[in-house]
């Protein structure tokens, strides 16, 4: 039996990587999916879903903008007749910028998309879900938000905020039946991490990618999508306010090769 049969899901950051993999998987499991991204290639995700026999609609927009969030919440309901799952997955890394070269605008943009976008998803999705007494909201955090060594300062701070948001929001909605959880991916091959993988392959070091975690390998988007499927489904009905690390064990120690300034 399809684990999301008859349900409506919104997935942001759906044009590629984790969001695309999740859109295809959720639809395969019976959900109708609104795929949201500011990149026009979100249409390719919908094409992949429909080619596999699933149901999906594309929407372009900035997941860190409140008008866009209002629109995707309304659009999911108008297109599919309800709203059961929202995954605030859209995010940016900001790259590696020397600390003295970072400025407030750089920080603000990363926080706007990664953290404020997640907050807005919780705010507007919960308003629809609370009257029904149920719903699953999923946020994309990162192992970089757990401790140092896995990302730049603004990115890490934004993801630490997402972890806190999952905890605090779960308690804000005490007794409502709405669950809020986060996923903290480790090193996953996506568009955002492409420079890391391209650089390693150019140096002939591809076999060393992911060597710092106990599984000694990197992950793929589908592995994160399956974790989200668990959180979206009734199988996780007693999981709330948690952050699940899907990282090959990296966050158990966060070993890191130090870079000299």
Give the active site residues: 155
Q: Which two three-digit tokens encode residue 158?
A: 């934004």
Give whole-number Cα distances, 208 to 3, 63, 113, 245, in Å.
Answer: 36, 34, 31, 21
CA 223 to centroid of chain Cα atoms: 12
Half-sphere exposure of 204 (CA within 13 A, CB side): 0
Give whole-number Cα distances, 115 to 78, 89, 157, 164, 213, in Å.
Answer: 27, 10, 9, 10, 26
CA 208 to centroid of chain Cα atoms: 25
Cβ neighbors of 233 (< 8 A, separation 6 or more) are 3, 4, 29, 136
E strands, the chain, are 8-12, 32-37, 55-60, 85-88, 135-140, 178-185, 243-246
């Amino acid at each position: 039996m399809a684990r999301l049969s008859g349900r409506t899901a919104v997935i942001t950051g759906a044009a590629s990587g984790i969001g695309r993999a999740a859109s295809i998987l959720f639809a395969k499991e019976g959900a109708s999916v609104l795929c949201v991204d500011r990149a026009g290639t979100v249409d390719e995700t919908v094409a992949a879903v429909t080619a596999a026999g699933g149901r999906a609609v594309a929407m372009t927009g900035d997941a860190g903008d409140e008008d866009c969030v209002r629109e995707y919440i309304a659009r999911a309901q108008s297109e599919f007749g309800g709203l059961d799952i929202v995954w605030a997955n859209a995010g940016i890394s900001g790259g590696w910028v020397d600390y003295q070269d970072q400025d407030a605008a750089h920080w603000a943009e990363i926080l706007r998309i990664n953290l404020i976008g997640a907050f807005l998803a919780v705010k507007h999705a919960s308003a629809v879900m609370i009257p029904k007494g149920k719903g699953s909201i999923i946020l994309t955090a990162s192992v970089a938000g757990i401790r140092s060594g896995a990302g730049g300062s603004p990115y890490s701070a934004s993801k630490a905020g997402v972890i806190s948001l999952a905890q605090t929001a779960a308690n804000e909605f005490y007794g409502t039946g709405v669950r809020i959880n986060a996923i903290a991916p480790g090193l996953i091959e996506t568009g955002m991490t492409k420079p890391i993988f391209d650089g390693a392959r150019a140096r002939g070091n591809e076999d060393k990618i992911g060597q710092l975690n106990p599984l000694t390998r990197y992950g793929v988007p589908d592995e994160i999508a399956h974790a989200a499927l668990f959180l979206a489904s009734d199988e996780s009905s007693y999981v709330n306010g948690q952050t699940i690390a899907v990282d090959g064990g990296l966050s158990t120690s966060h070993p890191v090769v130090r870079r000299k300034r």
